[in-house]
């Protein structure tokens, strides 16, 4: 099969780098075989998809005073920041303090269900009540449960948001 190396799942970053280095060395020594191997396509193929392995969180253990409260991700409508603190609003309207930043949460949440709307909000798809066309190609969201803050999607992210919503 003209293989270069053998990698086991889950693929370790160090092993992958070593294999790619070995491939490049062999390519320099022996030239490019036909058909050529596109490393970008290979990396996309090797990248685990959400349907095969799910490393996304299903619940969080949130500290509330002197107790820990388990909260399922399915009970979370959206995440937001206020005064440099991160909160989650649940479907029943509770605002609970999170120990994660929005950047960290964006990595832990399934992107099929959650979208980083802007620097202050990550929204769950079911929390989007209405989408309004706004000035300069921006979108304004009405969320449920209702929040008093205005939630906007930038013109640059509007098309990505529309695709995510199913347009």
Q: For residues 80 and 149, what is the distance between their CA atoms, to the nearest angstrom?
A: 10
Q: For residues 105 and 123, what is the distance between their CA atoms, to the nearest angstrom?
A: 11
Give the tokens for residue 56. 């996304």
Q: How confident is the model at residue 2 (pLDDT cuts 50, 70, 90)?
A: low
Q: For residues 136 and 13, what is the distance between their CA atoms, to the nearest angstrom?
A: 42
Helix (H) or strand (E) holding 95: strand 95-98
Pairing, β 139-143 against β 151-153: antiparallel
Are the CB atoms for 151 and 143 separated by under 8 Å? yes
**Residue 12: predicted pLDDT:** 83
Q: Which domains does the chain have, with CATH numbers?
A: 13-46 (no CATH), 59-165 (2.40.50.1020)
Give, in order, the Cα–Cα distances in Å from 50 to each of 20, 112, 126. 24, 9, 19
Q: For residues 167 and 27, what is the distance between their CA atoms, to the nearest angstrom?
A: 44
Give, in order, the Cα–Cα distances in Å from 78 to each of 16, 26, 72, 119, 127. 36, 49, 13, 13, 7
Give the tokens for residue 27. 């390519």
Q: What is the pLDDT of residues 63-91, one digit of tens each?
A: 888 999 999 999 999 999 999 999 999 99
Q: What is the pLDDT of residues 119-154, one digit of tens each?
A: 999 999 999 999 999 988 999 999 999 999 999 999
Does the pTM surpass 0.75? The reply is: no
Provide the H-helix boundaries in 55-154: 102-108
Q: For residues 117 and 95, what is the distance between their CA atoms, to the nearest angstrom?
A: 18
Q: What is the pLDDT of residues 12-40, one digit of tens each?
A: 888 888 888 888 887 787 765 555 566 66
């Amino acid at each position: 099969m003209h293989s270069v190396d053998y990698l086991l799942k889950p693929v370790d970053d160090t092993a992958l780098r070593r294999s790619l280095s070995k491939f490049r060395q062999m390519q320099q020594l022996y030239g490019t075989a036909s058909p050529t191997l596109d490393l970008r396509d290979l990396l996309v193929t090797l990248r685990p998809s959400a349907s095969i392995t799910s490393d996304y969180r299903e619940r969080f253990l949130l500290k509330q005073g002197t107790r820990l409260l388990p909260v399922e991700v399915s009970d979370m409508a959206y995440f937001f920041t206020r005064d440099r603190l991160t909160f989650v609003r649940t479907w029943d309207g509770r605002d609970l303090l999170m120990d994660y930043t929005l950047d960290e949460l964006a990595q832990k949440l399934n992107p099929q269900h959650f979208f980083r709307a802007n620097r202050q909000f990550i929204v769950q798809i079911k929390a989007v009540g209405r989408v309004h066309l706004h000035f300069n190609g921006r979108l304004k969201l009405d969320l449920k449960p209702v929040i008093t803050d205005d939630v906007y999607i930038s013109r640059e992210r509007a098309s990505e948001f529309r695709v995510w919503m199913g347009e």
